Structure 1
Amino acid sequence: MDLLINKDAKRFFMQWMLVLLAGAILTQILVYMNTVQLKHEMLKHDYELAGYLNNNYPHLAAELPLVFTADKTKNELEAGKALLETSGYKDSLQMRFIPVVNSVYQTNVIMNFIVSTGMSIFLFIVAFTFLKKHYKKIDRYQKEVYEIMNGSISTRLDDNEEGSLSKLAASINTVTASLHTHIEKEKHNRLFLKETLTNVSHQLKTPLSALAIYNEIMRGEHLDNEVIESFLKKSEGELERMQTLITNLLKLAKLDAGIIELHKSECVLNDLIKQATASFETRLIYEQKNFEMRTDGVVSYWCDKEWLLEAVSNLIKNAVEHTTARNCIEVHLEETPLMVKIAVYDDGEGIHPDDLNHVFKPFYRSRFSQDKQGTGIGLTLAKTIIEMHGGFISVESAIGKGTRFTIHLPKLTKL
């Protein structure tokens, strides 16, 4: 039986059985003592009865021993019963009126109470001691597991004893050692990824900068050729798009790799939204689009300003890219006791219902908007940044009526 392999359980059952065995032996001793007492009381009662008869009926003295020692017949039993019942001496008579029986009963009650109480106390002590030690060890395991998770102690539970709990500790040690190995490997992978991304960034930026310079040189030649001018303009647009794509890819890769740490501080979100909008002012004017910001007052929030600015800017950029002339873009800033909400509205083309569940996937391009420019990772980047702040983004849209992206930031914690 597996339970008996457990050293603690085996000790517990042995102690329990010893207490029960001691109780059984003590019970037998009490039975013997009660029997001896009953014999003593019966003899005492017979001595008293013999003395009474001898004093009052001396002529029966020679026959009195036979009264108590001779075998009795059934007829004699019935005759004696009939005689004594006339005086109220019968089965229904209460024990307190029969001193011998009453004395034995009271002694038994007291002794049985003492024995049962003592056994119960001993059994309780044995069970309490076992469970206290058992759960104390479990509580220690739990505390040490939390400390391992927080990195405050080593990756091992200190337990070299036998038993099921010790086996559990060994299993936990195996798991934590494996996790520790994977964590260290992941740290090395992230460090390698960070270095790789940095190198790739420099390697890509250099040829892009060179191409941009070549374009500027060619524009400076004053070539009166509309075809060349058109090609140069398209080339500049594609180079800018590639630069944005590379920058966003590097940001997204760093966020996914977990090598970015947020540096949070108190930030006025009204100013952050104005800063995000400022980079699009020229484009809004050129494309004849209206912009409006609505707030109920000054709203401050504990966040990483640079990364939150990136997320808000991507949502505004998305709205700009999916609206046309005379469309309106609005940013609403709202504060509640539990949440801070930043909602970016537009009354543009809207998002097709088939695309709503996919808009945050990287590089996702809807079949309904293949003519739109974009890298396809702006919304993914915004979603990742907001989730790092402990919040989330929701989206609502209707074809031909517009779209609303809402950032939900919790106010319950300041981490």
Structure 2
Amino acid sequence: MKNNMNKETLFLVVITLLYNLFLLLYFKIFLLLILSILMCVIYIFYCYLSIKKVENEVYAFTESINKSFNELINKEYANIFSLNTMDETLIAKINQKMIRLAEILEHESVKGMKEKKELQVLISDISHQVKTPLTNLKMLQCTLLEKELPKEKRIELLLSVGRQLNKLDFLLNSMIKTSRLETGLIQLNKLEENLFETIAEALSGITILAEKKNMNILVKCSEEFLLKHDRKWTAEALFNVLENAVKYSPKGTVIEIQVSRWEISTKIDIIDQGKGIPEEHHGKIFQRFYREEYNNDEEGIGIGLYLTREIIQKQGGYIKVSSTVSKGSTFSIFLPNN
């Protein structure tokens, strides 16, 4: 009997322990479940706050970009963003890039408008230059066709036709040379060449005209003078200056060509005893189609000196003029030694 009671007591104790253990485990599971739910709620709330923060930042960013675009449109560069080099935020970097982009676009726009204007001026100038010889040719043609003329007069008119055709030919050739130089279709090839021979090549084109006017041309240059330059185009540039010197100088005068080597460049002076150029025209004579009003008695289209400047500048040099009215002019060409 006593053994049976002990067994029952032991059984109840075991049952009680198991029950308590079950309750403890249940409580822990319940607690873990509550904690898990709480963690999920906290995580969801954190995600919500993070998303809201990103949303606010994106909104602020887009508002800043929108404001920047508005100010770019109005060209209020100073108000877009303080260009503080220490500010490395994304918005600051983008704003700086936008400002730079706007400046580039504005520069290209101005450049395009300038080129368009230059093209319009060029077309106008060409039309004006071509119009005169064409008008003269039409008049000469009408005269030759409509009138019975003596042989001598007819020959004289035909010679005039030839001169006008030569003028047109010279104009077109000069324009082709100029446009090819300006657009980079022609690349000047600088080689170490004999400068004296280049000058001689330029002089060969004006010898006959100089002899007709009984003019002397003195060259002060060593026959062994070597200089890196494009011989063909440099001769063209020198010829244009020399031709003007002969055309605008009185008969029986002297033209001097003086060459001197400086430390970083070689100077070529072309000195004449012509009419001279007023000081107010010094900056204009190198413009395309520019002709001095006081030289309208001489034939020309005003492109020679412009072409000369282009050729010299393409070789890294420059040209300038000093002149006194009624005494003559000195055109100085500087070409780099290296």
TM-score normalized by the length of structure 2: 0.58
Q: Is the 8 A contact 2:291 2:301 kept in 1?
A: no
Counterpart pick for 1:318 among 239, 244, 256: 244
The 2-side partners of 1:312 and 1:403 are apart by 15
Equivalent residue number for residue 206 of structure 2: 280
Secondary structure of 1:363 counterpart? coil
What residue is the counterpart of 2:171 in the other structure? 245
Going from structure 1 to structure 2, the CA distance change for 1:374 and 1:303 (only over 3 Å counts) comes to same
Q: Check the 8 A contact 1:270/1:299 in 2, yes or no.
A: yes
Q: How does 1:175-190 map to 2 (within 5 A)?
A: 178=105
Distance 1:180 1:402 in 2: 42
Deviation at 1:298, TM superposition (A): 2.9
2:271 is matched with 345
TM alignment of 1:385-400, pairs within 5 A: 385-400=311-326
* Aligned partner (choices 240, 256, 261) of residue 335 of structure 1: 261
Equivalent residue number for residue 259 of structure 1: 185
Report Cα offsets for 1:8-63 as digits up to 9, x if no partner: xxxxxxxxxxxxxxxxxxxxxxxxxxxxxxxxxxxxxxxxxxxxxxxxxxxxxxxx
Give the C-alpha shift of residue 377 in structure 1. Answer: 0.7
1:162 partnered with 2:90: yes
Give the conservation status (yes or no) of the 8 Å contact 1:324–1:348.
Answer: yes
The correspondence for 1:303, drawn from 229, 243, 247, is 229
Which of 1 and 2 has greater Rg? 1
Structure 2's unaligned 5+ residue stretches are 1-56, 58-84
Q: Is the contact made by 2:274 and 2:326 (CA closer than 8 Å) also made in structure 1?
A: yes
Distance apart, 1:239 and its partner CA: 1.3
Q: Is the 8 A contact 1:362 1:380 kept in 2?
A: yes
- SS of match in other structure, 2:266: strand
**Cα distance between partner residues in 1 of 2:333 and 2:274:** 19
Distance in 2 of aligned mates of 1:264 and 1:326: 36
Contact 1:352-1:368 at 8 Å conserved across structures: no
Structure 1 position 362, deviation (Å): 1.9
Contact map agreement 1:351 1:397 (CA 8 A) in 2: yes
Identity of aligned residues (%): 27
Q: Find the partner of 2:306 among 380, 386, 390.
A: 380
Counterpart of 2:295 in 1: which secondary structure?
coil
Equivalent-residue separation in structure 2 for 1:300 and 1:179 (angstroms): 46
1:323-380 residue CA offsets vs partner (Å, 9 max, x unmatched): 1321111111111111111111111222233432321122222221210111111011
Which AA in structure 1 matches 2:93? L
Name the CA shift for 1:181/1:361 in 2 (closer, same or farther; >3 Å): closer
Structure 1 counterpart of 2:195: 269
TM (normalized to structure 1)?
A: 0.48
- Whether the aligned pair in 2 keeps the contact of 1:393 and 1:406 (CA below 8 Å) is yes
Deviation at 1:311, TM superposition (A): 0.8
For these two proteins, the number of residue pairs brought into alignment is 229
Does the 8 A contact of 1:296 with 1:334 survive in 2?
no
> 1:357 and 1:166 mapped to 2: Cα distance?
44
CA distance in 2, matches of 1:318, 1:407: 15
Q: CA deviation at 1:170?
A: 5.5
Q: Tell me how far 1:395 sits from its aligned partner.
A: 0.6
| Structure-2 separation of matches of 1:181 and 1:399 | 42
| Structure 2: distance between partners of 1:318 and 1:352 | 16
Q: Which residue of 1 aligns with 2:294?
A: 368
CA contact (8 A) 2:319 2:331 kept: yes
Distance 1:173 1:360, change over 3 A: closer
Contact preservation (8 Å) 2:190, 2:315: no
CA RMSD of aligned residues (A): 3.6
Check if 1:401 corresponds to 2:311.
no
Contact 1:322 1:349 in 2 (8 A): yes
Contact 1:352–1:399, Cα closer than 8 Å, also in 2: yes
Give the aligned residue type for 1:285. Answer: E
Distance 1:229 1:390, change over 3 A: same
Q: Secondary structure at the match of 1:396?
A: strand
CA deviation profile, 1:87-111 (whole Å, cap 9, x unmatched): xxxxxxxxxxxxxxxxxxxxxxxxx
Report the Cα distance in structure 1 between the residues aligned to 2:246 and 2:184, rounded to whole angstroms: 30
Tell me which of the two structures has the higher relative contact order, counting C-alpha pairs closer than 8 angstroms and 6 or more residues apart: 2
